[in-house]
Homo-oligomer: A and B are copies of this chain.
Amino acid sequence: MDVGALVFDVFGTVVDWRAGVAREAARLLGPGVDAAAFADAWRARYQPSMDRVRAGERPFVPLDVLHRESLPAALAEVGIDGVGMDGVGMDGVADDVAAELVLAWHRLDPWPDAVPGLTRLRSRHVLAPLSNGGVRLSVDLARRGGLPWDLVLGAEVVGRYKPDPEVYDSAPRLLALPPSRVLMVAAHVEDLAEARARGLRTAYVHRPLEFGGDPAPPETDPGADLSVSSLEELAAALGC
């Protein structure tokens, strides 16, 4: 493959959103809450939360706004009713705690292979996130975890959410490369299928623990150009 740049899905592919959100939830909500169940409940609202933007029924807003909107329902699933009450307690979460919870998504740690793999890949290729997370979120994750991006691409740069084609198309356009020289890397076969439909090359990363093991993702993606189990394996496959 004659690759000029690699673009990456981030949540689940580069960082472990489940452990990070659960860690912040335990810190902010206390030991009485099932933090992993809360993380799963919030994440379950991730794709649906973007649907009205994708359908053009509301203007684009960054993912932080959608996370804040879906927070009360996720809290309710673990027995916490309401946001914006007078104080913090089992019956409600104060506005400042809600704001901190939204920032949990900016404080996720990379999978252990991510930084060594990306560092090797960057020696020969331009690297960027192509996430539905906002620009500031991507910057915060990179500074926290040491992710060596050359630039930040993604949903907020174009004002659309994946899988809208404009997001995938923005990568070759802004990198001044033909789509066939841009490799999209993700742990989700749907994301890769949409990228392929726009002419990008694709690499699947198997992340068995993204959802805590259940559901278990497929070990490989037969539709992808490459399937690997870590970003270090991807670096090796590309000769880096």
A interface residue numbers (CB < 8 A to B): 62, 64, 126, 134-136, 138-139, 142-143, 149-152, 156-157, 174-176
Contacts and interface: CB of A to CB of B under 8 A. Distances in A.
A139 B174 CA distance: 10
A150 B157 contact: no
A134 B176 CA distance: 9
Contact of A150 (B134, B139, B175): B139
Contacts of A136: 174-176
Contacts of A138: 151
A159 to B, nearest CB: 10
A134 to B, nearest CB: 7
Given A174-B135, A175-B135, A176-B134, A150 B143 contact: yes
A138 B152 CA distance: 12
Contacts of A134: 174, 176
A110 to B, nearest CB: 16
A148 to B, nearest CB: 10
Nearest to A137: B176
Given A126-B143, A135-B174, A138-B151, 14 more contacts: A62-B176, A64-B176, A126-B139, A134-B174, A136-B174, A136-B175, A139-B150, A139-B175, A143-B150, A149-B150, A150-B152, A151-B151, A152-B152, A157-B157
A142 B128 CA distance: 14
Contacts of A135: 151, 174-176
A189 B107 CA distance: 38
A157 B135 CA distance: 12
B156 A139 contact: no
A28 to B, nearest CB: 20
5 contacts: A135-B151, A135-B174, A135-B176, A149-B150, A157-B157
A174 B151 CA distance: 13
